[in-house]
Chains A and B, each alone.
Chain A
Amino acid sequence: MADTIDVNGKQIAVDEEGYLANLNDWEPGVAEVMSKQDNIDLTDEHWDIIKFLREYYEEYQIAPAVRVLTKAVGKKMGKDKGNSKYLYSLFPYGPAKQACRFAGLPKPTGCV
């Protein structure tokens, strides 16, 4: 629990895998800082997925596994986005794992 990231001068605690220790600490700056660490420039397309994940968590209290995320994105945003090729192009370290981390959610259920 000693780890923190610096978001606009604010120290925010993360766990040993880099996920936020406290969900309520999230702000867009968290995604900015984390993506910079992963060498990703966030685009509107990234934000769509991050926003989607936060809404999904809000509704279901769970971070979806990648297969479920893919399906749910397809349902909401169309099949051109609801496929793993598209999602991996945005989040090369795994759309569920990496995007959930940027979104301040816990590690997805069903990921090891």
Chain B
Amino acid sequence: MSEIVKKFLYLNRKAPYGTIYAWEALEVILIGAAFDQEVSVLFLDDGVYQLTKGQDTSGIGMKNFSPTFRTLGDYEVKNVYVDRDSLAARGLTQDDLVQIAWEDFDTEEEVENIVEVIDTARVRELMDASDVVFSF
């Protein structure tokens, strides 16, 4: 294992279907999470749709991968953020989004939902504080 731990921030800005960005981003996040880095995921712009509940893709012949976001906790990603303005601009609230549980297997510490809605100032801080920013 590398001893250097970097802060990775993944920006998800695109709607879940129509392009491959959202699915590819999720794969990159899950693969990256295996390398014991400090990972944060931020959903903004149309990317907030990726986390909406009750997606049904049967009409478009695509795999509905929204359940996969709920594995982020299993992959030890603990920081999942959603931009408040992006949600509001689309008439959405946190109640429209899936919940992602997180549990520390050793200490049995549990967090029921790690999805956190944050305002613009926090978004800016997060980007400032990150060593690496991937934008999808």
Q: In the docked arrangement, what's the CA distance between A31 and B117, Å?
A: 44
Q: How many residues of A contact B (CB 8 A)?
A: 15
Q: A62-B65, A68-B74 are in contact. List 4 more A-B contacts (CB 8 A).
A: A62-B30, A75-B103, A75-B105, A110-B30
Given contacts A75-B103, A109-B30, A110-B31, contact A61 B64 (CB under 8 A): yes
Question: Are the CB atoms of A60 and B67 closer together than 8 Å?
Answer: yes
Q: In the docked arrangement, what's the CA distance between A59 and B74, Å?
A: 13
Q: In the docked arrangement, what's the CA distance between A29 and B33, Å?
A: 34
Taking CB atoms, residues of chain A closer than 8 Å to B33 are 110
Q: In the docked arrangement, what's the CA distance between A32 and B65, Å?
A: 29
Taking CB atoms, residues of chain A closer than 8 Å to B30 are 62, 65, 109-110
Number of A-B residue pairs at CB separation under 8 A: 38
A71 within 8 A of B: yes
Shortest CB-to-CB span from A73 to chain B, Å, is 11
Shortest CB-to-CB span from B124 to chain A, Å, is 31
B119 within 8 A of A: no
Taking CB atoms, residues of chain A closer than 8 Å to B75 are 65, 68, 110
Q: In the docked arrangement, what's the CA distance between A59 and B70, Å?
A: 9
Interface 1/0 per residue, B11-54 and A, CB below 8 Å: 00000000000000001001101100000000000000000000
A67 within 8 A of B: yes
Given contacts A71-B105, A74-B105, A109-B27, contact A64 B34 (CB under 8 A): no
7 of the cross-chain contacts (CB-CB < 8 Å) are: A59-B67, A61-B68, A62-B65, A65-B75, A109-B27, A109-B30, A110-B75
Taking CB atoms, residues of chain B closer than 8 Å to A59 are 67
A→B interface (CB under 8 Å): 59-62, 64-65, 67-68, 71-72, 74-75, 82, 109-110
Interface 1/0 per residue, B73-115 and A, CB below 8 Å: 0110000000000000000000000000001010000000000
Q: In the docked arrangement, what's the CA distance between A72 and B71, Å?
A: 10
Shortest CB-to-CB span from A59 to chain B, Å, is 6
Shortest CB-to-CB span from A104 to chain B, Å, is 16
Q: In the docked arrangement, what's the CA distance between A60 and B70, Å?
A: 7
Taking CB atoms, residues of chain A closer than 8 Å to B67 are 59-61
Contact of B34 among A61, A65, A74, A82 (CB under 8 A): A65
Taking CB atoms, residues of chain A closer than 8 Å to B68 are 60-62
